[in-house]
């Protein structure tokens, strides 16, 4: 021991890289760090409602194993994976062996998977510590986490730690809120149309959507299989780089994963961005973007230029069709993926209905929320006879045009920059009754999913109400290293990532 350990009450404020350094030097133990996070959950989650399930026994067991591994390493950082002993939260759609996994839906209450999702298994193998499962919009369908089917059971809707009267974003709102509030140092979420980047922006943390195929989706409850991608949340870009390296890579259990080499992202953060070509798509500063958001993002662009980037305007002309394209393709895939939830093998069952088909219908009626039902019906309609060509097939053709826009832009630029969300966190209940207004929350993030590209959101300031603003960087396929380097360079030249909410 080379220094006096920090008081346990302050350990939850550590970033993942800071915690890693202290753990390796054995100035703190994983057990102390884990207890600090569990105490933080006990302290603030009655207000925040970020967690569906807290797993203290599992966490402390994993922390003890991590402490033994760190003791055996005796200060040699190379002998333990970077995430050894780091508390991590999991969005509640990652199958976790023996731990309830609900996907935010009543229809899966009580479901305990007999296996781990690949990303969970990979984190487990690194020695990460699982503190619990995090709340979300039901089956990841939403932009505020208000569509969670579990809000009544949690005694409240998940809230934004910067202002408890505002939403945390969604669908990974629990993950973003938990990291922002110091309930865990890292968290995993999924991004189908912005569900990592948008809540990261609204909660003032870093959120990365990797390239489609960079991270395995095996064991992840599916929403829209051609759009879903797993990614991390952290305070600071360096933590994102650490966890991405652990979860990325080809998986024989997921045929959509790519045989691309996984670099050491953390080692490639340094180097600056002098000469980096940064494009600003004019279509992303949409009508309705809040003035404070526009101002803070423009400030971020100016800072990138000041740091040596070569900034220029570009055009992605089919951006306006992104929202319509997404809301045909995604519900169509929902219609197919959610057909498996019929109450016959696991989850909610209507055992009081004697007829088998009637029981299936009743289980889905009772188990699915309004937004899930809405998307199932939209998708079934789009795929139905006589409408498939007019809707689904046409949407796939427009998807190709959107991807071609990005391909052309990346012939001139290395990275694109835009707002993550047109607004900061809106008030609870403000958009619940207006699905279209809610859908527009993802207008800046959806095209990235449609094209299968990586994108990252990081803090770039605050609005007049003191709510965080996020700037989005978009990269070339499988070039997360450049994206992270650009984000890290910007972050190190600013202080926004050091700001924490005062819960």
- Location of structure tokens 């949409």: 286
Helices and strands (H and E) in the chain: how many: 15, 11
167, two tokens: 């939403």
3-class secondary-structure state, position 461: strand
Beta strand 51-54 pairing with 129-134: antiparallel
Indicate if 91 belongs to the active site. Answer: yes
Q: Which residues contact 280 (CB under 8 A, 6 or more apart)?
A: 301, 311, 312, 313, 314, 416, 417, 418
- Alpha carbon distance 335, 323 (integer Å): 18
Out of 29, 30, 91, 441, the active site residue is: 91
What kind and span of H or E run contains 88?
strand 87-91
Strand partners, 220: 94
Distances (CA, A) of 454 to 126, 219, 228, 236, 450: 24, 21, 12, 17, 11
Selected catalytic residue, list 30, 105, 144, 171: 171
Residues contacting 334, CB < 8 A, separation 6+: 139, 141, 223, 224, 372, 375, 376, 379
How far is 353 from 359, CA to CA, in rounded Å?
Answer: 5
171 is catalytic: yes
**Catalytic status, residue 216:** no
Active-site pick, 151, 195, 216, 349: 195
* 466 Cβ contact list (under 8 Å, min separation 6): 162, 163
Q: Give the residue numbers marked as catalytic.
A: 91, 171, 195
């Amino acid at each position: 021991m080379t220094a006096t350990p920090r008081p346990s009450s302050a350990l939850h404020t550590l970033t993942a890289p800071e915690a890693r350094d202290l753990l390796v030097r054995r100035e703190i133990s994983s057990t102390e760090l884990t207890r600090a996070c569990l105490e933080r959950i006990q302290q603030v989650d009655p207000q925040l409602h970020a967690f569906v399930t807290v797993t203290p026994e599992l966490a402390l067991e994993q922390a003890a194993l991590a402490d033994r591994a760190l003791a055996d390493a005796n200060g040699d950082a190379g002998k333990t994976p970077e995430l050894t002993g780091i508390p991590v939260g999991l969005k509640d759609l990652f199958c976790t062996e023996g731990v309830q996994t609900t996907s935010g839906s009543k229809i899966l209450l009580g479901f305990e998977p007999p296996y781990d999702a690949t990303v969970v298994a990979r984190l487990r193998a690194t020695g990460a510590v699982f503190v619990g499962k995090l709340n979300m919009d039901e089956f990841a369908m939403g932009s505020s986490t208000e569509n969670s089917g579990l809000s009544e059971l949690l005694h409240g809707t998940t809230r934004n730690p910067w202002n408890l009267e505002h939403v945390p974003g969604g669908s990974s709102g629990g993950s973003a809120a938990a990291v922002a509030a110091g309930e865990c140092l890292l968290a995993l979420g999924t991004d189908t149309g912005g569900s990592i980047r948008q809540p990261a922006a609204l909660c003032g943390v870093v959120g990365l959507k990797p390239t489609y195929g960079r991270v395995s989706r095996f064991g992840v409850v599916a929403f829209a299989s051609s759009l879903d991608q797993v990614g991390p949340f952290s305070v600071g870009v360096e933590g994102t780089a650490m966890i991405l390296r652990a979860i990325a890579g080809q998986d024989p259990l997921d045929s959509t994963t790519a045989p691309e080499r996984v670099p050491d992202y953390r080692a490639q953060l340094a180097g600056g961005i002098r000469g980096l070509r940064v494009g600003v798509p004019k279509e992303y500063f949409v009508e309705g973007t809040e003035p404070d958001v526009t101002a803070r993002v423009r400030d971020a662009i100016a800072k990138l230029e000041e740091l040596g980037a070569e900034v220029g305007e570009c055009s992605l002309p089919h951006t306006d069709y992104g929202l319509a394209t997404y809301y045909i393709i995604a519900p169509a895939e929902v219609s197919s993926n959610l057909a498996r939830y019929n109450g016959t093998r696991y989850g909610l069952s209507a055992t009081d209905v004697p007829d088998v088909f009637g029981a299936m219908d009743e289980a889905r009626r009772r188990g699915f929320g309004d937004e899930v039902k809405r998307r199932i019906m939209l998708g079934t309609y789009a795929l139905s006879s006589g409408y498939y060509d007019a809707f689904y097939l046409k949407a796939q053709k427009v998807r190709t045009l959107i991807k071609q826009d990005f391909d052309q832009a990346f012939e001139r630029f290395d990275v694109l920059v835009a707002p993550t969300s047109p607004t900061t966190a809106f008030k609870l209940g403000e958009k619940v009754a207006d699905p279209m207004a809610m859908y527009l929350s993802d207008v800046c993030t959806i095209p990235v999913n449609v094209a299968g590209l990586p994108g990252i959101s990081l803090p770039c300031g605050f609005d007049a109400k003191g709510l965080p603003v996020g700037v989005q960087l978009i990269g070339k396929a499988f070039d997360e290293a450049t994206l992270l380097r650009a984000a890290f360079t910007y972050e190190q030249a600013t202080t926004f990532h050091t700001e924490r909410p005062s819960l």
